[in-house]
Structure 1
Amino acid sequence: MTRRLITHLRYLGLAVPNLEEVRDFYTQHWGLVAVDGDDDIAYLAAAGSPENYILRLRRAEKRIDLISFGAASTTDVDEAAATLEAAGVRLVTRPQKLGTPGGGYGFRFFDGDGRTLEISSDVTTREHRTIDEREPVPVRISHVVVNSPAPEATRCWYEEHLGFALSDTLWSKTMGDMMYFMRCNALHHSFAIARGPHASLHHASFEMRGIEEWMRGTGKILRSGARMVWGPGRHNAGDNTFAYFLDPASNTVEYTTALKVLEEDDWHPSKLDVADIETQDQWGTSNEMSELVARESFNDVDHGLFVAPPV
């Protein structure tokens, strides 16, 4: 297996026009902790994660601001930047000391669709704790899924330039490949690419301590008044549980747990037919996947492509 320069998903940055409302949802209901910020930006951490923050919210037109990945060392950051630039990838910034909370060393660049990505190392970790039994708060960020009108090309870009590997594919007899599950470590997926009408966020997923905590968290969010889009159930690809909700900016967010950890050298990707009911939900407990449910995660058109966020 080729050595990867990316080690893990670090955080997701979103721009939202209703910052106060969205921040309050994630801190008062979703279970994240505000660790830094001001009137126009908020940095939110998970109590169980050493990452300085796992979600960044900025007041602006709705978009994906950036997706941040970790690297093991400054040497790997420099090597990633040099390799990407040599391949013609457009850099936003060159490797440098970071001025965001936690500091570190990193750089930003555009992926093939125009999303802003970041690779960083040496970010200060935060004091975190073990999540208690039955405590319904996220342990960490699990994965980010994006929509792409050309998912085949997007998949190839992440494989070629960032060393992601394909874990599994969702497939339809009438529409072809519907979703690619991509990994940068032994977790089944930290990133995925869905076929959509435009580039946008499909969903962001947050890992819970276990099934008991995931189910209690699902009930907690239902009682908060947030709309459940799909769930609760258990996927086939990744073997993880799911419960999808809409946040106050109409981004789809998920509580999950029990994501499969792969023996990478022995793993062979499968094509899973979305027409098979157990592909979507092994348990049969969720509402049936339909065109109306799928449309919820198409999200609004992302107007931030090839426009780097100011922070």
Structure 2
Amino acid sequence: MTTDNSPVNAPVNERGERLITHLRHVDLAVPDYDKQLHFYTEMWGLSPEVTDEGIAFLAAEGSPEQYSVRLRRADEKRLDLISFGAATAGDVDAMAQRLSSAGIRLVAEPDTLQTPGGGYGFRFFDNDGRTVEISSDVAVRQHRRIEEGESIPVKLSHVVINAPNPEATVAFYEQHLSFALSDTLWSPHMGEVMWFMRTNPAHHSLAIARCPHVSLHHASFEMRGIDEYMRGSGRLMRAGVEKVWGPGRHLAGNNTFTYFLDPHGNTIEYTTELEELDEDTWHPHLYDFSDPEVTDQWGTANPMNEFVAKQSFNDPDRGVFVAPPV
């Protein structure tokens, strides 16, 4: 089954291109900062730039982005923000003007960024109260090719968010940010439960899941290839990191997956081979995720059960409509 995915009044620049180009980073507030910092660097494989203020900027070695994860020491666990890139400062201004004109609350007007790499950007609240950042002109980080057998992330692949009214959240990202629908998951008992959305030919850089509350579903990191993905998954399992689901290969996106829990219960994923789409010819599918081959084409992952579903719900986000302090 397919469905129409035409964005309504899509925000594009004078070149006819989307104003948002790609995913930059995901920022987390964490109560046990030292434990999380150790996990994401020593276990997960990110490279740290640490400040004296209890903030760490963690880079993926294969990515030109200054950082893929920001950790901030805080009393409560929350998703601080999700950051997306834009091509030019003019596109940033156009996006801010568009959102403001639509009555969407800006957290900060476009200005010079004070984070690594600088750049120009602004923040706003989406319809669920998440803080979202849009930026351009961030300096490129010195990065490198990940070598064969090296089981560390190449880059941040995608972020999945939970929403109590996901249809409204999907419409928000389509209409205001020009995300396009790639595929949808549904079941005969639950109806539609997850929407995969893209802002470039990658099958999804954002997905939206049905959940009783606003929260982070998971953040996913791209590995060099199948071998490196399996080596990384195995390294974490041998180390006793709690595995939620996998290893396997999804049908929507055709990407591999192994999901783990970080020390504060955020689900994070190793993946590889996420599908690249021909956007001119692509038509979204409606996949029945009660079919085992939809959730895992290989049949190697543990079954999708209540434990997997519960972990993906995460804790309710305490940062809704509250901008992070930095």
Does the alignment reach a TM-score above 0.5?
Answer: yes
Task: State the Cα distance separating 1:35 from its structure 2 match.
Answer: 2.1
Which residues of 2 match residues 1-311 of structure 1 at below 5 A?
3-60=17-74, 61-311=76-326
Q: Residue deviations 1:113-154, cap 9 Å, x none?
A: 000000000011111000000100000000000111111110
Pairwise CA RMSD of aligned residues?
Answer: 0.9
Q: Secondary structure at the match of 2:20?
A: coil
1:216, 1:37 → 2: CA distance? 31
2:26, 2:151 → 1: CA distance? 21
1:211, 1:97 → 2: CA distance? 39
Q: Residue deviations 1:238-288, cap 9 Å, x none?
A: 000000000001100000000000000100000000111000000000001
* Sequence identity percentage: 64
Q: Secondary structure at the match of 2:258?
A: strand
2:259, 2:308 → 1: CA distance? 10
Task: State the Cα distance separating 1:37 from its structure 2 match.
Answer: 2.4
Task: State the Cα distance separating 1:217 from its structure 2 match.
Answer: 0.4
2:219, 2:311 → 1: CA distance? 13
Matched with 2:13 is: none
2:53, 2:136 → 1: CA distance? 27
Q: Secondary structure at the match of 2:313?
A: coil
Normalised TM-score (structure 2): 0.94
2:105, 2:146 → 1: CA distance? 40
Q: Residue deviations 1:147-179, cap 9 Å, x none?
A: 111111100000011000000000011111110
Q: Moved runs in structure 1, 4+ residues, more than 4 A?
A: none
1:63, 1:69 → 2: CA distance? 19
Given that residues 92 and 107 in structure 1 are in contact (C-alpha distance below 8 angstroms), is that contact kept between their aligned partners in structure 2?
Answer: yes
Task: State the Cα distance separating 1:224 from its structure 2 match.
Answer: 2.0
Matched positions, count: 311
Q: Secondary structure at the match of 1:255?
A: strand
2:51, 2:21 → 1: CA distance? 26
Which ranges in structure 2 are unaligned for 5 or more consecutive residues?
1-5, 11-16
Could you tell me which amino acid in structure 2 is paired with residue 49 of structure 1?
S
Which ranges in structure 1 are unaligned for 5 or more consecutive residues?
none
2:312, 2:290 → 1: CA distance? 19
Given that residues 245 and 253 in structure 1 are in contact (C-alpha distance below 8 angstroms), is that contact kept between their aligned partners in structure 2?
Answer: yes
Task: State the Cα distance separating 1:38 from its structure 2 match.
Answer: 2.6
1:39, 1:24 → 2: CA distance? 17
Given that residues 36 and 101 in structure 1 are in contact (C-alpha distance below 8 angstroms), is that contact kept between their aligned partners in structure 2?
Answer: no
Task: State the Cα distance separating 1:39 from its structure 2 match.
Answer: 4.5
